[in-house]
Amino acid sequence: MRALSVVTMTAVCLAFAGLLGLAVWHIAGSPAPVNLPGLLAENLDASGVEHPITAVLLNFRSYDTLLEIGVLVIAGIAGISMAKTTSLEDPDLRTSDSLLYALQRWFVPLMLVLAGYLLWAGSDRPGGAFQAGAVLAASGVMMRLGGIPMDFLRPGVLLRLGLALGFTVFLLVAVASALAGEAFLAYPAGFAKPLILVIETVLTFSIAMVLLALFVSAPVNRAQEPEEGEHE
Amino acid sequence: MTLWLMAGLLFTPLAWAVLTLLVDFRMGRAVTWLGILVQVLVSLGLWAAVASDGGFYYLLGGWQAPLGIELRVDGLAVTFVLLTALVAAACGWHASVYLDPGKSWHRYFWPLFWFLWAGLNVVWLGGDLFNLYVGLELISLAAVGLVALGGQAAALRAAIRYLMAALLGSLAYLLGVALIYGQFGTLSLADVTALLSDGTVAAGQTFPLVLMLFGLALKTALFPMHGWLPPAHGIAKSPVSALLSALVVKASFYIAARLWLDLGGHLGGYELAQLIGVLGGLAVIWGSWLAFRQTKLKQVVAYSSVAQIGYLFLLFPLTWGVTDAISLQAQQGITLQVISHALAKAAMFLAAGNLIMSVGSNRVDALAGVSRFLPFSLFSFGLAGVSLMGLPPTGGFAAKWLLLQASLASGQWWWLGVLLAGGLLSAAYVFRVYQASFIDNTDTDHFFHPPKSLEVIPLILALLSLGLGLVAEPVLSVMALPFEGSSR
Amino acid sequence: MIEWFLDGMLVLALLTTAVAVLASRNLFRAVVMFIAFGLLMALAWVRLQAPDIALAEAAIGAGLTGVLLLDAARHLGYSRGGRPE
Amino acid sequence: MTIHLLYAFAGVALCGIGLFGFIRLDHLLRKLMAFNLMGSGVFLVMVGLAQRGGQPDPVPQALVLTGIVVAVAATALAVVLIRRYYHLSGQITLAEPGREPVKKPAADAHREGPTE
């Protein structure tokens, strides 16, 4: 019975991959009728940044990015809503490893520098808030594994402020131009570059914070609620 | 003015999500009341603006598609924006009384609630395929977070199952989007439609559309992919269940319907349309039967959602290869079905929550004798049930009447059986609950009486669902509003 | 021609590690293979002229997701079966 | 056929492998990894297919960056849920733990506040 279901599943997955491959092959046969990269290159000057991907993420399609940060914040909220509240200095979580210690001594400062560079590079070459935020979070994880307590990651008001900061700044910039009579998320003429830089900086911080909070909030509390109509 | 309304509509839910994240439950409740007021007023204003001046494309950041993201603000979209404002306001109000402020994790209800609302508006207005994907993920993750909030193992199992189904669905949709972008070089749905209609791109590549529809059907819990829905909707807190059943599953269906109406004529086919219709029909019958067999009250309501969602998928066969008049009739029927089910199901879940709260058990047979104590909640439950059955003059009746006419006019008489059987079976499961509540049970006299406001909210929603049939004409007229396409 | 060979090898390695992630009996091993897969993906993005994604994949895909899964695997026990004390 | 298209086909294969793992494996962490493999496959198709002419296209690259962040958010949420679920039930699959125990009917129902 189980063998039969494996065969069926394999057949289904093979059929799926086959159809998908066929579709890709057919589509690749003719060029796309809309030349979006060309259009992008024409409008790049108006975007305020030189790196096309940053221009797409934070100007042309900034709405996607705003919502995406929202998704990240939701994950963060769900994470801290289940977080353990008693103690972050759980001895179990501390890894007393000399290798890790050495890594921490040498790598953490290096990673902080790298995060700063990635953030700064974002406007004209590869790099940007996401990469920088991830690197920042990774250095935080390393410090955490080394046993540094990180009290600010307790589910308190500080953590929530940190989660919300990047999103709030982004949202305020978005609505400010709308109040001035332009479209939501439009940057005022001439201010695109500094505003994008500000947004990227706070986003880096918030992204790192969310990712770190999700890592730290190992959910081991007993807080729980009975199903409606069930008794404890 | 309209521009400010749009900015308010996009800004308010996101801003309130952040605000409520920063404060505790009680404060969040007060802040939320204000936010609900703002959002309802803005939604009403936008609806009125579109009703008087017609729809338009809203360019985010001032960039035109395909470079930027355009929102499609038409009559149907603003109708759903208004519906969302109504139902979410009711659920938010209910939750603010229903949830216990003493439990620390309930403070996170409010930010998730507002993110969910924001995501729903993204979907109703979305005109960009990738933006819709992000909107769907926003909704899914917020919904999963709400189901899991403070829950025990069973709630977590339901939440994880829901999350896995939602993730697979989103990925299938995204894969379809990737193929569409490869083929057309644009992500704007309007552009893709235009390229197909003027023959720049030859039709015939069905697979991307099938992939997207599969993903969306999984997220809408179409039979036989409905397994994740009853546990998740059954175990969540009642206001959350109401939001999920009334609005969240409609969001993925709405995208599927928009895709089908725009692209189905070029990329779809008769067999595909009939297949989806058959699955919808099976969902109606199988879901109703399972609803009849459940022993827990909220499971009855959850399986009833599986059945009622089935009706929606009759849109696919009834709009493929038929005349414009029949297609419009089917679309109107489905729109009414979405609205009336949203109102009725929200009423039903909220009323069910009240009933469970007062008898202290979630079993159907525990309701014995409740008819003497809770006429209001029971009455709301019944009124909502009447709309689900499709008796006149409810919105459910108007919807099914239109679908019936469309089936006959297009010669697809076999859907009549589905409509008839679905109505009878839903009568069966609603009466079963009623019968349980009227069994005279003399030995118990300890029912908890919920606050009056909790009883009023489902009653209002049920009455709205009931009255929808009487105002079907004006509600449907917004669909025919003039739509001013962008300058392209 | 040498380019095609190298890319072919990379694709082959990607698919092999992907299968290894799913097939390995030991959960811990599977996670390690998953991290290796993430690093190979970063290489693939470089070959696709997408350095931004390569950076993000290395930092997020391989790095953070990997650490997250490793930590979870440690807590859940390395294999199927009962909970560790 | 360009190198980019080769990677698109690698993405197709990854989608197939990931899908198989996703529906076949019961262990939740493994399911999650299969989901991520499938996601990588989708991203490869997206970029590889769009760049089939050999020129880089920043738009799908930006979309994939967004997609990666969304995927990591979903993964992190799933890990949190799975760990808590494991902690509360000792289970790492979605299998039902036998039939649920039969509850006593309403006879023992007692008065409860709005929080049940």
pLDDT, tens digit, for every residue of C1-40?
Answer: 788 899 999 999 999 999 999 998 889 899 999 999 999 9
DSSP states of B404-471:
HHHHHHTT-THHHHHHHHHHHHHHHHHHHHHHHHHS---S--------HHHHHHHHHHHHHHHHTTTT
Which H or E element spans position B57? strand B56-59
B106 and B167 within one domain: yes
In a domain, B486, yes or no: no
Per-residue pLDDT at D108: 35
How far apart, in whole angstroms, are the C-alpha atoms of residue D13 and residue C60? 23
Residues of C in contact with D36 (CB under 8 A): 34, 61, 65
Mean pLDDT within B271-280: 94
In chain A, count of helices (H) and strands (E)? 8, 0
Per-residue b/e over B431-454, b at no fewer than 16 CB within 10 Å? ebbeebbeeebeebeebbebeeeb
Q: Identify the DSSP state of B390.
A: T
Position A224 scores a pLDDT of: 46
Within 10 A of C4 (CB to CB), how many other CB atoms are there?
A: 11
Pairwise CA distance, residues B52 & B58, whole Å = 17
Cβ within 8 Å, pair C55-A214: no
Rounded CA separation C65/D36 (Å): 9
Q: What is the CA radius of gyration of chain D?
A: 22
Contact residues, chain A, for D73 at CB < 8 Å: 71-72, 74-75, 210
Determine the Cα–Cα distance for residues B195 and B138; give it in Å rounded to an integer.
Answer: 30
For the whole prediction, is pTM greater than 0.95?
no
Domain-embedded: residue B488: no
Q: Which pair of tokens denotes residue D98?
A: 């036998």
Is the preceding peptide bond at B393 cis, omega within 30 degrees of 0?
A: yes
- Does an interface of 3+ CB pairs under 8 Å exist between D and B? yes
Contact B363 D28 (CB under 8 A): no
Last residue of a domain, one of B237, B268, B299: B268
C–A contact (≥3 CB pairs within 8 Å)? yes
Residues of chain A neighbouring D69 (CB-CB closer than 8 A): 68, 71-72, 130, 207
Cα distance from A214 to chain C (closest Cα, Å)?
9
Arithmetic mean of pLDDT over chain B: 89
Neighbours of C31 (CB within 10 A): 26
Cα–Cα separations (whole angstroms), residue D4 to B218, B398, C41: 31, 53, 14
How far apart CA B435 and CA B54 sit, in angstroms, is 49
- Extract the residue ranges of chain A whose pLDDT is less than 50: 85-93, 219-224, 231-232
Chain centroid to Cα A80, Å, comes to: 16
CA distance B359 to A88: 41
Same domain for B198 and B241, yes or no, is yes
Say how many CB pairs under 8 Å bridge A and D: 116
Q: Inter-chain contact D9–A32, Cβ cutoff 8 Å?
A: no
Q: Which of D46, D73, D94 sits opposite B157 (nearest CB)?
A: D94
What are the chain B neighbours of D94 within 8 Å (beta carbons)?
157, 160-161, 164
What is residue A92's DSSP assignment? Answer: G
Find, in chain A, the residue whose alpha carbon is nearest to that of D15.
Answer: A17
Question: CA dihedral in degrees (B391, B376, B149, A220; nearest 10)?
Answer: -130
Do B and C make contact via 3 or more CB pairs under 8 A? The reply is: no
Task: Report the distance separating Cα B465 and Cα B433, nearest Å.
Answer: 20
When pLDDT is averaged across residues B448-456 and rounded to a whole number, the result is: 82
| Separation CA D98–CA B220 (nearest Å) | 28
How far is residue B312's CA from residue B320's CA, in Å, rounded to a whole number? 14
Chain A residue numbers with beta carbons less than 8 Å from the beta carbon of D51 are none
Sequence-distant (6+) residues with CB within 8 A of A169 are: A198, A199, A202
Same domain, B245 and B319: no
CB contact under 8 A, B178 and D49: yes
Contact flag D66-A64 (C-beta cutoff 8 Å)? yes
Interface test with A, best of D26, D45, D70, D84 (most A CBs within 10 A): D84
Closest alpha carbon within chain A to C51: A126
Alpha-carbon distance of D93 to D91, in angstroms, equals 6
pLDDT at A193: 85
Which chain B positions have a beta carbon within 8 Å of A34's beta carbon?
66, 184-186, 191, 195
Please tell me the distance from the alpha carbon of residue B401 to that of residue B209, in angstroms, as a whole number. 30
Whole-number pLDDT of residue B378: 86
Same domain, B244 and B311: no
Number of domains in chain A: 1
Give helix B324-359 / helix B75-98 axis angle, nearest 10°: 0
Of B18, B175, B186, Cβ closest to residue A34 = B186
CB contact under 8 A, C50 and D64: yes
Q: Which of A82-96, A168-182, B317-331, B366-380 is the least confident region? A: A82-96
- Residue A26 domain flag: no
Question: Are B134 and A161 inside 8 Å of each other by CB?
Answer: no
Per the listing, tokens 């699955």 go with: B279
**Pick from A53, A214, A218: CB nearest C52:** A53
- How many domains does chain B contain in total? 2
- The two structure tokens encoding residue B136: 């769907």
Q: Is residue A32 part of a domain?
A: no
Q: For residues B124 and B71, give the distance between their C-alpha atoms in angstroms, rounded to a whole number.
A: 9
Report the pLDDT value the prediction gives residue A16, as an integer from 0 to 100: 93
Rounded to whole angstroms, the Cα distance separating D51 from A2 reads: 42
When pLDDT is cut at 50, 70 and 90, the band that residue B363 belongs to is confident
Give how far D114 is from chain C: nearest CA, Å.
36
Give the nearest chain A residue to B9 (CA atoms): A184
Q: For the segment B53-93, what is each residue's pLDDT rounded down to a tens digit?
A: 888 899 988 888 889 999 999 889 999 999 999 999 999 99
Can you give the pLDDT at residue B269?
A: 86
Distance CA(B69)–CA(A59), nearest Å, equals 10
Question: For the purposes of burial, counting CB atoms within 10 Å of the CB of D67, is it exposed (0-12), middle (13-18) or buried (19 or more)?
Answer: buried
The C-alpha of D98 sits at a distance from chain C's nearest C-alpha, in angstroms, of 16
Chain B hits for A71, CB-CB cut-off 8 Å, are: 134, 137-138, 141
The alpha-carbon gap from C19 to the nearest alpha carbon of chain D, in Å, equals 7
In chain D, the residue whose alpha carbon lies closest to the alpha carbon of A15 is: D16
Q: What is the mean pLDDT of residues D8-32?
A: 94
CA-nearest of B239, C56, C81 to D71 is C56
The shortest C-alpha distance from A149 to chain D (Å) reads: 20
Q: What is the pLDDT of residue C78?
A: 47
Per the CB < 8 A criterion, the answer to whether A144 and A150 are in contact is yes
* Nearest Cβ partner for A134 among C52, C56, C71: C56
Q: Using alpha carbons only, what angle is made at residue D43 by residues D37 and D46, rounded to the nearest 5 degrees?
A: 145
Q: Is A175 inside a domain boundary? A: yes
Residue the block writes with tokens 């419009």: B328
- In angstroms, what separates the C-alpha of C3 from chain A's closest C-alpha? 21
Residue B58: which residues within 8 A CB-CB, separation 6 or more?
A: A183, A184, B3, B6, B70, B71, B73, B125
- Residue C83 has a pLDDT of 39
pLDDT above 70 covers a percentage of chain B that reads 96
Mean pLDDT of B463-482: 82
Q: How is domain D3-89 classified at the CATH fold level?
A: Helix Hairpins (1.10.287)
CB contact under 8 A, B450 and D114: yes
- A13 domain residue, yes or no: no
**Whether residue B192 is found in the same domain as residue B273:** no
Whether residues A75 and D76 touch (CB distance < 8 A) is answered with yes
Structural domain boundaries enclosing A69 = 47-216
Whether residue A75 contacts residue B138, with contact meaning beta carbons closer than 8 Å, is answered with no
Nearest in space to C13 (alpha carbons), one of C45, C47, C40: C40
Distance from CA of A215 to the nearest CA of C (A): 6
More confident residue, B269 or D46: D46
Which residue in the set D28, D67, D109 is minimally distant from B366, CB to CB?
D109
Is A169 part of the contact surface with chain B (CB cutoff 8 Å)? no
Residues of B in contact with D16 (CB under 8 A): none
Between D19 and B390, the more confident residue is D19
- Average pLDDT (D68-78) is 92
Q: Do the Cβ atoms of D43 and C53 come within 8 Å?
A: yes
Find all residues with CB under 8 Å of B408, minimum gap 6, and list them: B416
Chain A residues 186-205 with a CB less than 8 Å from chain C: none
Considering only CA atoms, give the Rg of chain C: 15
pLDDT of D31 strictly over 50:
yes
**How far is the C-alpha of A105 from the C-alpha of B406, rounded, in Å?**
72
With beta carbons under 8 A apart, name residues in chain A contacting B103. 223, 225
Domain parsing of chain C, residue ranges? 9-76
Question: Can you read off the two tokens belonging to residue B456?
Answer: 């009023």
Q: What is the mean pLDDT of residues D86-107?
A: 62
Q: Which chains touch B (3 or more CB pairs under 8 A)?
A: A, D
CB contacts, 8 Å: C14 with chain D: 10, 14
Phi, psi of B187 (to 5 degrees): -110, -5
Touching subunits for chain A (3+ Cβ pairs under 8 A)? B, C, D
Which of B206, B233, B268 marks a domain boundary? B268
Nearest CA in chain D to A41: D58
The alpha-carbon gap from B357 to the nearest alpha carbon of chain D, in Å, equals: 6
Q: Is residue B10 part of a domain?
A: yes
Q: Give the pLDDT of residue C85.
A: 31
Q: How many Cβ pairs within 8 Å bridge chains C and D? A: 113
Encoded amino acid at B487, one letter: S
Judged by a CB distance cut-off of 8 A, whether residue D42 touches chain C is no
Q: Confirm or reject contact between D69 and chain C (CB < 8 A).
A: yes
List chains touching C (3+ CB pairs under 8 A).
A, D
Name the least confident of B4-8, C63-67, D61-65. Answer: C63-67
Contacts of B68 in chain A (CB under 8 A): 60-61
Burial class of A69 by CB neighbour count within 10 A (0 to 12, 13 to 18, 19+): buried
Q: Which of A6, A65, A78 sits opposite D80 (nearest CB)?
A: A78
φ and ψ at residue B245, rounded to 5 degrees: -75, -40
> Cα angle at B444 between B442 and B446, to 5 degrees?
140
Asked whether the beta carbons of residue A223 and residue B200 sit closer than 8 angstroms, the reply is no
